[in-house]
């Protein structure tokens, strides 16, 4: 059974204070790891897909990295508008044709 | 493109009532999914479809039914609603799961069963 664990559950940062969110996973044959952003009352918004260890992707202040056991979402010099819940999900090689999600990290950026 | 749309946005049901949650996508995606999200929990897959006429169970299918008669629509049916089905329901679509494409989500339906 695929499993995703995200840490911390919640994180409060000052504007401009860089940090990283962790996503640890166990999966039979990783076919893809996904990061989503979710604002209150909205559906998840796609950010990144990572396919293999060593891969990195960037978008504005966000950078996602992947190893064989975990992924990190690095946030550089965050702004208040980066406040959201960040979800990590994996697509394994077997089972139902959907994603297995972690519980998310609730990020608050204070001005 | 509107992307993935869901109706209604909110609904309150009494125990034992039935309803259909609607989902439509205009991206010509073959794959569609239904997830539920409970407070403090990750999204859980209810049902999915790989194309018109083909559906399959996910992790938590009990109490739900789906159909897929067109590429665009993937309704979720709740029969005999129970308090345990109080949740936020998200529909998603993707171009192809075989190629591991990202899933795009709708805005959700918040359902309360009392």
pLDDT digit string, tens, across residues B47-68: 999 999 999 999 999 999 999 9
Query: Do the Cβ atoms of B102 and A49 come within 8 Å?
Result: yes
Q: Which residues of A36-68 are buried (b: 16+ CB within 10 A; e: fewer)?
A: bbbeeeebbebbbbbeeeeeeeeeeebbbbbee
- B81 exposed, middle or buried (CB, 10 Å; 0-12, 13-18, 19+)? buried
Chain B touched by A91 (CB under 8 Å): yes
pLDDT digit string, tens, across residues A27-72: 988 989 999 999 999 999 999 999 999 999 999 999 999 999 999 9
Taking alpha carbons only, the member of B70, B73, B97 closest to residue B24 is B73
Chain B touched by A96 (CB under 8 Å): yes
Rg from Cα positions in chain B? 13
């Amino acid at each position: 059974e695929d499993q995703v664990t995200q840490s911390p559950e919640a994180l409060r940062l000052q504007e401009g204070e860089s940090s990283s969110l962790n996503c640890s996973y166990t999966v039979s044959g990783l076919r893809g790891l996904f990061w989503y952003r979710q604002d209150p009352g909205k559906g998840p918004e796609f950010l990144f897909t990572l396919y293999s260890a060593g891969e990195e992707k960037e978008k504005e202040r966000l950078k996602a990295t992947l190893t064989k056991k975990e992924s990190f979402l690095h946030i550089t010099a965050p702004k208040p508008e980066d406040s959201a819940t960040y979800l990590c999900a994996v697509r394994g090689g077997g089972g139902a044709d959907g994603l297995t999600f972690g519980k998310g990290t609730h990020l608050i950026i204070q001005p | 493109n509107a992307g993935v749309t869901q109706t209604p946005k909110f609904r309150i049901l009494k125990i034992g009532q039935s309803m259909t949650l609607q989902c439509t996508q205009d991206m010509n995606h073959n794959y569609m999914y239904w997830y539920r999200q409970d407070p403090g929990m990750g999204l859980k897959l209810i049902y999915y479809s790989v194309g018109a006429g083909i559906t399959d169970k996910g992790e938590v299918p009990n109490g739900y039914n789906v159909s897929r008669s067109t590429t665009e629509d993937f309704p979720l049916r709740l029969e005999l609603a129970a308090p345990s089905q109080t949740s936020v329901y998200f529909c998603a679509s993707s171009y192809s799961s075989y190629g591991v494409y990202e899933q795009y989500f709708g805005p959700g339906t918040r359902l309360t069963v009392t």
